[in-house]
């Protein structure tokens, strides 16, 4: 027989150590079902009680979780922006070097022929494409992480949850 609190008695404010542990797990990107399972093992609660507890923690501490996640997300976002910018600038410089070998007057046919004759045209195009995607994706991710940390509104922390 189970003598733990009933579902109606679960209140995350009554268990500050467990609440802090759940916030740490969520900040570490652990899956919600994994957290709930471990919470059941630690406390003896059933799945519903542990799930309710985690939901309360998410509701009350979502901003704190996003703030703890922000440094890592910010690092990767800035790294992606910088690598994208370097790639784009490098490819742009390579393309201008190819185009600088052409005799004036320049027309579209000469530019296309010069680009196609260059052995590294595909690499240049790939670097340009990666560079643009890196800068755009890194900027979006960085801004999303900062917004989530400031407002507490971001990705749903329980989105990967499924029933056992």
**Per-residue pLDDT reduced to its tens digit, 108-129:** 887 777 777 777 777 888 899 9
Whether 45 maps to a domain, the answer reads: yes
* Nearest residue to 64 (alpha-carbon basis) of 154, 159, 163: 154
Most confident of 6-15, 33-42, 148-157: 33-42
Q: Are 136 and 7 in contact (CB under 8 A)?
A: no
On the question of pLDDT at 132 being above 90, the answer is yes
Position 164 scores a pLDDT of 47
User: Domain range spanning residue 94?
Assistant: 7-151
Q: Are 145 and 69 in contact (CB under 8 A)?
A: yes
Position 87 scores a pLDDT of 93
Q: Which two tokens stand for residue 114?
A: 């010069």
Helices (H), ranges, the chain? 16-27, 32-43, 47-99, 108-117, 121-151
Whether 159 maps to a domain, the answer reads: no
Position 1 scores a pLDDT of 37
Distance between CA atoms of residues 19 and 55, nearest Å: 11
Position 81 scores a pLDDT of 95
Whether 26 maps to a domain, the answer reads: yes
Whether 138 maps to a domain, the answer reads: yes
Whether 160 maps to a domain, the answer reads: no
On the question of pLDDT at 163 being above 50, the answer is no
Report cis status (omega within 30 of 0) of the bond before 105.
yes
Residues contacting residue 126 through CB under 8 Å, at least 6 positions apart: none
pLDDT in tens, 6-15: 545 677 778 8
Q: What are phi and psi of 152, to 5 degrees?
A: 85, 0
Whether 104 maps to a domain, the answer reads: yes
Name the 3-class secondary structure at 159: coil
Q: How many domains does the chain have?
A: 1
Whether 67 maps to a domain, the answer reads: yes
Distance between CA atoms of residues 9 and 96, nearest Å: 69
């Amino acid at each position: 027989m189970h003598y733990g609190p009933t579902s109606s008695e679960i209140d995350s404010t009554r268990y500050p150590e467990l609440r802090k542990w759940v916030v740490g797990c969520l900040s570490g990107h652990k899956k919600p079902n994994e957290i709930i399972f471990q919470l059941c093992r630690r406390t003896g609660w059933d799945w519903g009680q542990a799930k309710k507890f985690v939901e309360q923690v998410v509701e009350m501490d979502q901003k704190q979780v996003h703030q703890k996640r922000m440094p890592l997300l910010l690092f990767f976002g800035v790294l992606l922006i910088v690598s994208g910018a370097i790639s784009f600038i490098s490819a742009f410089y390579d393309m201008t070097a190819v185009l600088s070998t052409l005799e004036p007057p320049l027309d579209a046919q000469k530019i296309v022929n010069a680009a196609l004759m260059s052995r590294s045209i595909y690499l240049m195009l790939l670097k340009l494409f990666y560079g643009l995607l890196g800068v755009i994706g890194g900027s979006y991710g960085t801004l999303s992480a900062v917004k989530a940390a400031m407002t507490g509104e971001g990705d749903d922390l329980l989105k990967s949850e499924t029933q056992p």
